[in-house]
Amino acid sequence: MKTFFTIITALLIASSAFAQDEFTLAKEGQAAPDFTFETAPGKTMKLSDLKGKVVWINFFATWCPPCRKELPHLQKEVYDKYADKDDFVLIILGREHNWEEVNKFKTEQGFTMPFYPDPKREVFAVYAKQNIPRNFIIDKEGKIAFSSIGFNEKDFEKIKEQVADLLK
């Protein structure tokens, strides 16, 4: 089974240039599509409420091996570094997950970063058709500065550099 996931991961990484064009709806340089998400059960926020901040949007699923590989990097190398910055927001959305599922996953994995549900893919559907993990970096003007599909450490370094530049 592990070999199967390794092969699938390699194929996703190898095809990410194609996937970027074919399955990505929100493109770099464009205004980030606005969306509403739950910040707590029954409480919502809009992406547009965060204008003036650098926003990192991550789409994941608990069952996704590349997502599980990426999330510890996101915790240690991004959230822990920028959590106290007023001009940075991290939004991690569990594609097809509810509050119970994202909270259970967060607790089991020992994460402190914020996780939010996207149970019907409503937010994901505005940004992409398929493939996770996905990251979208939104600049302070509300434009998509960078996006990625899948996880590999080299691309993750590029994303971190982009965020550091935007926060200068």
**Domains present along the chain, CATH in parentheses:** 2-166 (3.40.30.10)
pLDDT of residue 1: 56
Tens-level pLDDT at each residue, the chain (168 residues): 555 544 554 444 444 443 445 776 667 789 999 999 999 999 999 999 999 999 999 999 999 999 999 999 999 999 999 999 999 999 999 999 999 999 999 999 999 999 999 999 999 999 988 889 999 999 999 999 999 999 999 999 999 999 999 999
pLDDT of residue 29: 83
pTM of the model: 0.85
| pLDDT for position 128 | 87
Token output for 132: 């996770």
- DSSP string spanning 105-120? HHHHHT--S-EEEETT
Q: What is the pLDDT of residue 17?
A: 40
Name every residue whose Cβ is closer than 8 Å to that of residue 99 and which is 6 or more positions away in sequence. Answer: 38, 41, 117
What is the per-residue pLDDT for 22? 77
**Confidence (pLDDT) at 19:** 41
Residues with Cβ within 8 Å of 32's Cβ and at least 6 positions away in sequence, in order, are: 26, 47, 55, 136, 138, 142, 143, 144
Q: Residues 102, 117: contact at Cβ < 8 Å?
A: yes
pLDDT at 139: 97
